[in-house]
Amino acid sequence: MTRKIIALVLAMVMCLGFTACGGNEENENVLRVAMECAYAPYNWTQADDSNGAVPISGTNDYAYGYDVMMAKLVAESMGKELEIVKLDWDSLVPAVSSGDVDMVIAGQSITSERLEVVDFSDPYFYASIVTLTKADSEYANAASVADLAGATCTSQLGTIWYDICLPQIPDANILTAQETAPAMLVALESGAVDLVVTDMPTALAATAVYGDMVLLDFTGTDGEFEVSEEEINLGISIQKGNTELLDAVNAVLATMTVEDYEAMMADAIAVQPLSE
């Protein structure tokens, strides 16, 4: 009986030792941040660590962009190692809601619908809504949403661009939503659509790559897209109720200004890959 007890105690000690030295402690020192890694200039995939790119978990690729820059600031402030998790757009909210990742930094609008299942940080970027078309398009000189009437158009799946903005175009021929922002831009470049609706950073990145695209910005005019503040303010989503992590993120954002955000976005646009 004594030998059995001793063996049991030793087994328990070894088990506790493995727990203390192994995965749990390691996981506590890692900040798992999810994003698409396919949404320049917010985030993208590249083959090396140039410009400070971070390895994508489970792959030989690296992620970089505005969201990665922000994730690095948050991880550094918390004294944690950053791990980037690549997920498709529709999987982002479920992943953070379930706790599979610590947070999502992916150009997400702070909508009331999303706030039902996750918490959001203060805005980490303010993204106005714009339109992209081709230079030779009949819509190239449009000065309002009304001037886009009858256009064949699309945007990215699960975004306010597709769900809220495109239906505001009179008599629009709205095609199926595209899975990713790059796919949306390819649809425009190939001539499959007359125009796409997106946000300013995505449009600026697109015009830097595609020289024949024209950016139309109706913001501040009577002919602008009607969107609420919550729909253009982008936030970092965190599992509901995790106030400690939320406070840590907001503490980082409190040290930054709108000018800081815009300068960091300009840096991201300057080094974005030529294709996604």
Q: What is the mean pLDDT of residues 89-96?
A: 95
The whole-angstrom distance between residue 116's C-alpha and the CA centroid of its chain comes to 19
Q: Where are the beta strands (DSSP E) in the chain?
A: 30-35, 44-46, 54-55, 62-64, 81-86, 103-109, 118-120, 125-126, 129-134, 152-154, 173-174, 195-199, 213-216, 233-239
Q: What is the pLDDT of residue 28?
A: 82
* Closest by CA position to 108, among listed 220, 257, 234: 234
CATH superfamily of 129-218: Periplasmic binding protein-like II (3.40.190.10)
Q: What is the mean pLDDT of residues 74-98?
A: 96
Q: Reply yes or no on whether the pLDDT at 59 is more than 50.
A: yes
CA dist., res. 165 & res. 273, Å (int) = 28
Pairing of β 125-126 and β 118-120: unpaired
CA dist., res. 276 & res. 267, Å (int) = 18
The whole-angstrom distance between residue 190's C-alpha and the CA centroid of its chain comes to 25
Question: Helix, strand, or coil here: 118?
Answer: strand
Q: Reply yes or no on whether the pLDDT at 11 is more than 80.
A: no
Q: What is the mean pLDDT of residues 216-229?
A: 94
Q: Reply yes or no on whether the pLDDT at 3 is more than 50.
A: no
| Domain range list for the chain | 29-125+234-271, 129-218
Q: What is the mean pLDDT of residues 30-48?
A: 95
- Structural fold of domain 29-125+234-271: D-Maltodextrin-Binding Protein; domain 2 (3.40.190)
Q: What is the pLDDT of residue 238?
A: 98
Least confident range of 84-93, 177-186, 223-232: 223-232
CA dist., res. 11 & res. 204, Å (int) = 60
pLDDT band at 26 (very low <50, low <70, confident <90, very high): low
Q: Is the peptide bond before 41 cis (omega within 30 degrees of 0)?
A: yes
Domain 29-125+234-271 shares a fold with domain 129-218: yes
CA dist., res. 175 & res. 148, Å (int) = 15
Q: Reply yes or no on whether the pLDDT at 27 is more than 90.
A: no
Q: What is the pLDDT of residue 13?
A: 40
Q: What is the pLDDT of residue 127?
A: 85
Pairing of β 233-239 and β 173-174: unpaired
